[in-house]
Chains A and B, each alone.
Chain A
Amino acid sequence: MAKKILVFGEQRGGTLKKSVLEIIGLAKSISGGGSVDVVTMGEGIGSIGETLAGTGVAVHVADDASLAQPSPEAYVAQIDAAVKAVQPDVVLFTASAMGRDLAPRVAARMGAGFISECTSLEANGDGFAAKKSMYGGKVFATVESKAGAKLVATVKPGAHKAAESAGGGAANAMAVAAPSSLGAKVTSVQQQATDRPDLAEADVIVAGGRGLKEAENFKLIEDVATPLGAALGASRAIVDAGWVPHHYQVGQTGISVSPKLYIAIGISGAIQHLAGMRQSGCIVAINKDAEAPIFKVADYGLVGDAFEIAPLLAKELEKACS
């Protein structure tokens, strides 16, 4: 069945979210000869419209000062206007902070079905079928939408091949549909000054746990991560102890990750932590307790003292990665 697909073209501060191109790639592959439209919004985003249109899909751009900062109220009104114009079978968002914030609201406004955090999505007769993790990664579910029902879904970044953009495409300008006053309004954005990738999207993660004994020893994790260009992760134990912020936490009450390489240092491997990282490509565990559960999911295990091994590893990686 041919599908009409609308993709939300997320941008922040004039930078297109990389995974939008992956979702356009996915949309093209499942549209079955239907149509793919993209709606994007912000201020001064003409070049984003061109990049998106360069992928060969129809692009609708709302460019206005009132849309400079993301706002569920304003952005959902704008997306809703695009929904009314395009009449899509499915609206796709990136599973990002912004996408997660907007998508359920769009679904409720449309009276549509909703599936979040899809790792795959395909056409299924008159509906769609998606796969997603549940219980923090302890099980994987196949979720189907009802035949003929509209659907809204958020799609995990990194799971699909990006559409290529030839650039320079022509986009359609949209009238601004945002309400004039907002109940919740962004007043400032703070970006951390860090060269490290975001935990949820990183290819390599180095994570530390209680085996580090004290907050200041988390520096050992940073030293191993730096030559790898890795994101920093942590077990719940040391987040709860206040050694590192919550957004470092990997696991069921933190972030579920699936990098190419995950190095766990001084993490014993509580069930909720393992659930959140066992989809990683290659897992390395360094722990002094040979019986630690983390070794059951590790591809490579080193039983020993983290305080001895981590500095040596940092040095060897510096050599290997330089």
Chain B
Amino acid sequence: MKIAVLIKQVPSSEAKIRVGGDGRSIDTDGVEYVVNPYDEFAMEAALQAKEKFGGEVVVFGLGGDKVEESLRQCLALGADQAVVLRDGAFDGSDSLGVARILAAAVKGVEPNLVFCGKVGIDRDDAAVGVMVAELLGMPHVSVVTELEWTDESHCKVGREIEGGSETLEVTLPAVLTANKGLNEPRYASLKGIMMAKKKPMEVKDAAALGIDAGTVGSGAALTSVVKMEPPAERSAGKMIQGDAAQMVQELVRVLKDEAKVL
């Protein structure tokens, strides 16, 4: 089985995010970058599928030097190959541009299965995985929380919906976007980390991917962030005093009379 995993590098969820000097992007100074948390579930699902059916896991990441760290981590976890997608022409792509780049790259390995996280926790778009499926002409299931293999080309997956879940039968090839709860991602072993250093990591540009540079990057972007603002400050609240019973009575009173939310 040939499995492609799409990896994004994002600021850690613990990072404090400040708006940058240009007022339309974040200040990256001192921000710790990590593998997008949902991509870790995608990576684990890929490794489990490989363990079950054999084959190869290829990880793809778009970006500068930093993404190489994330891809190297995936190699340490057990991916076989990494591909870095890098070209000045890619800068400023919107989600469809990113999806075009990833789809072109993924197509090259003719995967049976493509995994990615359900959303990147930076822009919160949840767009690229589903777009890649459309561009590859594959079915997709998004927000997958359960995965059970029937055989090498069929699986049953569960996805969350409002107030419940859906179960789907999937015939490969397909794109699955992973949610938390799908599995428990493993940690890299020392042996894995040593082996990762010797595994292939290739860098591909627009020409190598056969991408028309006019369809990606800032020139082709149909949406752009024009402004970023911090959330509104909340004014200092009121600390309610007294013993437990007094505090509770006072709380219910203010919720009713002041906040008017009861």
Contacts and interface: CB of A to CB of B under 8 A. Distances in A.
Contacts of B143: 97, 100-101
Contacts of B167: 186-190
Contacts of B226: 129, 142-144
A141 B228 contact: yes
B11 interface: yes
A116 B179 contact: no
Interface string B105-133: 00000000000000001111111111101
Interface string B40-83: 00000000000000000000000000000000000000000000
Interface string B168-187: 11110110000111000000
B contacts with A: majority SS: mixed
Interface in A233-266: 239, 245-247, 249, 251-254, 260-261
- What is the interface residue range for chain A against chain B? 35 or more
Contacts of B251: 284, 300, 302, 313, 316
Nearest to A246: B181
Given A135-B122, A136-B13, A312-B244, A189 B166 contact: yes
A303 B239 contact: yes
Interface in A127-162: 129, 132-146, 149-151
Contacts, number: 270
Interface of B: 11, 13-17, 19, 24, 26, 37-38, 94-96, 99, 121-131, 133-135, 138-143, 145, 156-157, 159-171, 173-174, 179-181, 221-231, 234, 237-240, 244-245, 247-249, 251-252, 254-256, 259, 261-262
Given A108-B130, A299-B234, 12 more contacts: A113-B96, A116-B127, A144-B224, A183-B171, A187-B169, A201-B162, A239-B180, A249-B180, A251-B13, A253-B180, A278-B234, A313-B248
Interface of A: 12, 70, 72-73, 76, 96-98, 100-101, 104-105, 107-109, 111-117, 129, 132-146, 149-151, 182-192, 194, 198, 200-201, 204, 228, 239, 245-247, 249, 251-254, 260-261, 270-272, 275, 278-279, 281-284, 295-305, 308-309, 312-313, 316-317, 320-321
